[in-house]
Amino acid sequence: MPDQSLPKARTPEATPGEREAAPAHEGISRRRLLGTAGATGLVLGTAGAAVGYAAAPSEAAAPLTSLGTDRAMFHGKHQPGITDGLQARGHVVAFDLAAGAGRKEAAALLRRWSETARRLMAGEPSPHDDTDVARDAGPSSLTVTFGFGHSFFARTGLEKQRPTALDPLPEFSSDHLDKNRSNGDLWVQIGANDALVAFHALRAIQKDAGRAARVRWQMNGFNRSPGATSHPMTARNLMGQIDGTRNPKPSEADFDQRIFVPEKGEPAWMANGSYAVVRRIRMLLDDWEKLSVKAQEDVIGRRKSDGAALSGGTETTAMDLEKTDAKGNLVVPINAHARITRPDQNGGAAMLRRPFSFHDGIDADGVPDAGLLFICWQADPLRGFVPVQRKLDRGDALSTFIRHESSGLFAVPGGAAEGEYVGQKLLEG
């Protein structure tokens, strides 16, 4: 779990044109409903929501003024869900193509998925048998991101187009991987700031798969809700640690070079794309919580209260790796997680972390099945995730308290232009 921070969300307010109602046969649109839901339903609760629904056709309805109006763009240079800020709710799901399905069926599926994602991200109903789960909500910063696994290319006869960067990850000593919850032909990441909006998108994507693909595995995650703290701040993980302080930022000169495949890179269909490493990391919380706060801070190398390095300063103050205490001991222990994951300790290796926490219940012996859905982005995993994880494998103090239980690597092509679908350059090139 490298120690890096995330850029803030880019969620421009929807324009009036984006609030147009859906066609009449789809009933009252989500956007037509937003106004009265904001004016009455949010104040009056269940009864108010019913009144708001009845009054929705009124042209005098005021727009919803909440995080529900925040919208991410589907079309663009890069796919959504990479540089957007952390969302409160997330789902990641992998599919395998059905027996007999090939390139033609995959192209049709990506075309369906792209149109569904475009509409849902705009706050519109799904184009196929919408379930109305998110009918009275705005887009809520919904993002839907698509990727291809190593096995996809053999299934579709596109082996010559498979990137070398998609070669399987090496084995690590900390791995306890469940193959049934790892890899897959296709991968979809869904994030939103409303749980129903996120579930609605997950259900729509699953239904769109039809007979072309079946779910291989699916995982659910969450983060702190926007506005839950008095000011924007780096997220905390389930260990209570501020997690993500040194993430690359788009304002940095080499950000694109580290995170995205160049426009003239290889293969050509991956231009402006990125590679996602997905790991389900179980946190052994019972063991972790037995440690004193001081011992936890020594494991991480940062103060638990504010995320500042043990060498002093604030969260963003550069860590002094050589600083010692009165007894001559390193203030930041030699095996501290934050020390090991620093890019300058790994030949400049860096990745953009965009994780979700997860909690999937409590085992029969009372142990929580909880941890981190680790998702990181880089232009090349052999220069991003792999060298950092190898270093962690050789002596990270945190390794005693975590277990890597599933893993996947996916090629995520660049964003789709207007009128295109994600992966079109690969599937029709």
Query: Which residue of the set 96, 243, 256, 298 is catalytic?
Result: 243
Contact 131, 187 (CB under 8 A): no
The answer to whether 243 is a known catalytic residue is yes
Q: Which amino acid is located at 390 in the chain?
A: R
Q: Of 198, 246, 188, 134, which is closest to residue 375 (Cα–Cα)?
A: 188
User: Could you give the CA distance from residue 90 to residue 144 in angstroms, rounded to a whole number?
Assistant: 10
User: Could you give the CA distance from residue 409 to residue 399 in angstroms, rounded to a whole number?
Assistant: 21
User: Could you give the CA distance from residue 234 to residue 257 in angstroms, rounded to a whole number?
Assistant: 24
Contact 424, 184 (CB under 8 A): no
Q: What are phi and psi for residue 109, nearest 5 degrees?
A: -65, -45
Please count the other Cβ atoms lying within 10 Å of the Cβ belonging to residue 29.
19
User: Could you give the CA distance from residue 5 to residue 244 in angstroms, rounded to a whole number?
Assistant: 4
Contact 114, 416 (CB under 8 A): yes
Going 292 to 295 to 299 to 304, the CA torsion angle's sign is: positive
Beta-bridge partner residues of 186? 95, 148
CB-based burial, 238-271: b 16+ in 10 Å, e otherwise: bbebbbbbbbbeeeeeebbebbbbeeebebebbb
Report the catalytic residues.
243
